[in-house]
Amino acid sequence: MIDSANLLHSAEGQAELLQTLLSAERAGAKVAGESLRQTSDPAQRQLLQQILKGEGDSCLHLLTCLKHLGLEPNRETGAFYAKAMAIEPLEERLLFVDRGQQWVIRRLRDFLPGCQDALIKGELEQMLRIHEENSAAAQG
């Protein structure tokens, strides 16, 4: 994993971060979609619908960033998917999903202060807000 600020903001570090986040968002969307099909609880459904939309929107923000940099997006689904789907009951899986939201928030907060590209910074700031809102909803 990238930990030095200089490496994080190098072209290679930035590309690795964006690709890693894309895989993670894809996994989160898949988990939210499958979990949504497993519950009839109104509160869980509302939260999962919000998360599903947020993960999808985040994928679009990341694809915009990758296109801007002339990079081909990966097609991977992150390991988060298998880990999350192995968790039963759904209440515990939702706690794990929120830990995933927090992981993304930390990565973005580490990256954004040194980001010099206005388009990427704007897209990732929107993604950060989505994850902060979704995490707050999960904890609320």
CATH architecture type of domain 5-139: Up-down Bundle (1.20)
- Look at residue 9 in the predicted model and tell me its pLDDT: 79
Distances (CA, A) of 84 to 1, 14, 29, 91: 21, 26, 11, 11
- Look at residue 31 in the predicted model and tell me its pLDDT: 98
> What does the domain layout of the chain look like in residue ranges?
5-139
The pTM assigned to this predicted structure is 0.93
Q: At what angle do helices 11-37 and 90-111 cross, to 10 degrees?
A: 160
70-99 pLDDT, tens per residue? 999 999 999 999 999 999 999 999 999 999
pLDDT over 50 (residue 1) = no
Q: By the 8 A CB rule, do 48 and 32 touch?
A: yes
